A = this chain, B = another copy of it.
Amino acid sequence: MGEAVAAPITQIGVDDIEHLVLGAQLVSSGGATIGTVPSAWLRRTLAGAGPVRLVPVSDLSPETLCVPVGNVGSPTVLEEKLPAGEEFVHAVRGIEDRLGTPAGAVAALDVASINALTPVIAAAQLGLPLVDADGMGRMFPLIELTVWAAAGLPASPITLVNTHGDVITIDCADNQRIESLARPAIIALGGWCAAALYPMNAATLARHGIHGSFSQALRLGRTLAEAQERGSPRGADLARELGARLLFTGAVVEVSRPTAAGFARGVVVIADRTDPDRMLRLEVQNECLLALVDGRVAAAVPDVICPIEQGSCLPVGVEQLYYGQVLDVLCFAADPAWHTPEGLALAGPAAFGYPLPNEAPPGDQR
């Protein structure tokens, strides 16, 4: 995404939380809004443990066990069913027990929404470095939607930990079947869990991860914060600063958000404020997956479609959009690993029920 060459970011401390939250919300593609609980959890953890060391995977010896972690289940439940605090420690320890190998670093399932924060919590509590890499490069609702799975790596073993410290470990050779085993377990465990999954050594992570994810979220967050301070940039300027493409600017005229089969689906329509016949339609399945301008595909999953509130420059989760809100809608190109045949088969438009005639959306500048 961002093209600017910048000094490497080598740690994440209390002062970085604001930027991390902003950037993580941006790359969530309109996904779950980061609530007060994960931010407070991270702040309290870093205030006690000090900053976490952020390392490129190349800094680790090849055999180092890297354990990606993330929150799974409902972020909304997390806001009401508070963490006991050590959930991610138990999750990583469970993987260590299962594999008989100590973890040498923590990584991220996805650096987006609250899962940009949870790996930092885990690394701080475990006293381990945090690898600057993740498996999604955006946000997806299913644990098998990773570039790791696209590369044939197993999600298993997975540990799921709830607030009681109960641990469910899943060993399953089939990444597709894991979802059907994990989802009921997550619900039985209380609606959200700390998960550790896709354990792999640093050599494998170097070949298959999406790299620089935390650095990118921090830089995007800082750029947004600077834009907020300067006040009300034009959408095209904001997009250029963020390294994104401006899809549309307009006001929300329709929001439909039914919940179907446990997942949030929806449609959002925004209209051009000077020419109300020009419209952008967002198709939503937890995240914004498809953007159509006047009926033509302007952007599609796996690329990242981001509604940003004009004026405040705040990235907005779909569940917080409301009638009349004025938005700039931006698009970031997904990591190239998602634009391979394997990546598109797993998480392209057709996988979500949008069989586009051409998987490369028109107007895509990549």
Contact = CB atoms under 8 A, between A and B. Distances in A.
Interface of A: 94, 97-98, 164-174, 177, 180-181, 183-185, 187-189
A162 to B, nearest CB: 9
Contacts of A172: 164, 166-167
A184 B187 CA distance: 9
Number of copies: 2
Kindly name the residue among A94, A180, A188, A189 whose own CB sees the greatest number of chain B CB atoms within 10 A.
A188
Given A166-B172, A169-B170, A181-B185, 9 more contacts: A164-B172, A164-B177, A166-B171, A168-B170, A168-B181, A168-B185, A183-B188, A184-B185, A185-B188
Given A181-B185, A185-B184, A188-B184, A168 B166 contact: no
Contacts of A171: 94, 166-169
Contact of A169 (B169, B173, B187): B169
Nearest to A168: B170
A180 B168 CA distance: 12
Contacts of A187: 184
11 contacts: A94-B171, A164-B177, A166-B170, A167-B169, A167-B172, A168-B171, A168-B181, A169-B170, A181-B185, A183-B188, A185-B188
A113 to B, nearest CB: 26
Contacts of A97: 98
Contacts of A168: 168-171, 181, 185
Contacts of A165: 173
Contacts of A188: 180-181, 183-185
Contacts of A174: 164, 166
Nearest to A178: B166
A337 B33 CA distance: 54
A211 B167 CA distance: 32
A177 to B, nearest CB: 7
Nearest to A165: B173
Contact of A170 (B98, B167, B181): B167
A166 B181 contact: yes
A181 B189 contact: yes
A123 to B, nearest CB: 23
A170 B173 CA distance: 18
Contacts of A184: 184-185, 187-188
A184 B165 CA distance: 18
A45 to B, nearest CB: 24
A101 to B, nearest CB: 13
A152 B150 CA distance: 46
Contacts of A166: 170-174, 177, 181
A297 B316 CA distance: 65
A108 to B, nearest CB: 24
Contacts of A164: 172-174, 177
